[in-house]
């Protein structure tokens, strides 16, 4: 399988799973969110450590300090937002995609008028976050399936 192939989920299987989620009692939903939140929390430091893959690691590191796990039924991590102020008033949410994917190739090589660089030159697939997540995807999926199966098994027993 080529490295840039996206794994597409079977929507028929997911539809049944999401129907089951809707019928779960509050305790089962909370249990699932707690288990999945732990998977997200496991992912966060790995994403944060991906700054060293970036040509501008200082900029990337500052943006990645904003990464945090989100409590949902699927593994979720938020990166960016209004935290992490930069000189000139910019915040991490404004620079995260430029830092991850590089400068707009139609700009003057991503440079400021004074010659300084805003972001590295573009790179398909990203510099750290997305390549790290792609590497972690099989383990995240395995852990998520295990958590869902565990919660559904305990819920259907009760």
pLDDT value at residue 24: 86
Within a domain: 81: yes
Count of residues in the chain: 158
Within a domain: 17: no
> How far apart, in whole angstroms, are the C-alpha atoms of residue 15 and residue 10?
9
Range of the domain at 133: 25-157
Bridge partners (DSSP) of residue 76 are 70
Within a domain: 41: yes
Within a domain: 20: no
> How far apart, in whole angstroms, are the C-alpha atoms of residue 121 and residue 1?
27
Within a domain: 151: yes
Q: Tell me the per-residue pLDDT of 72-114, one tens digit each, with 9 for 90 and over.
A: 988 999 998 877 677 777 788 878 888 888 776 655 555 555 5
Within a domain: 55: yes
The number of distinct structural domains making up the chain is 1
The gap between the terminal CA atoms of the chain, to the nearest Å, is: 42
Within a domain: 8: no
Kindly report the average pLDDT of the chain as a whole number.
Answer: 81
The number of angstroms, rounded, from the C-alpha of 95 to the middle of its chain's C-alpha atoms is 16
* Bigger pLDDT: 125 vs 74: 74
Within a domain: 86: yes
């Amino acid at each position: 399988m080529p490295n840039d192939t996206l794994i597409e989920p079977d929507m028929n299987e997911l539809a049944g799973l999401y129907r089951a989620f809707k019928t779960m009692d509050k305790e089962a939903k909370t249990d699932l969110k707690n288990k999945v939140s732990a998977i997200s929390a496991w992912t966060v430091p790995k994403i944060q450590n991906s700054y060293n893959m970036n040509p501008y690691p200082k900029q990337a590191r500052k943006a990645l300090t904003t990464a945090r796990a989100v409590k949902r039924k699927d593994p979720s991590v938020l990166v960016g937002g209004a935290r992490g102020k930069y000189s000139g008033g910019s915040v991490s949410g404004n620079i995260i995609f430029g830092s991850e994917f590089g400068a707009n190739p139609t700009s003057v090589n991503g440079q400021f008028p004074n010659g300084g660089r805003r972001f590295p030159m573009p790179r398909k697939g990203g510099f750290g976050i997305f390549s790290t997540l792609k590497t972690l995807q099989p383990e995240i999926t395995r852990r998520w399936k295990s958590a869902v199966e565990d919660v559904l098994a305990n819920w259907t027993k009760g």
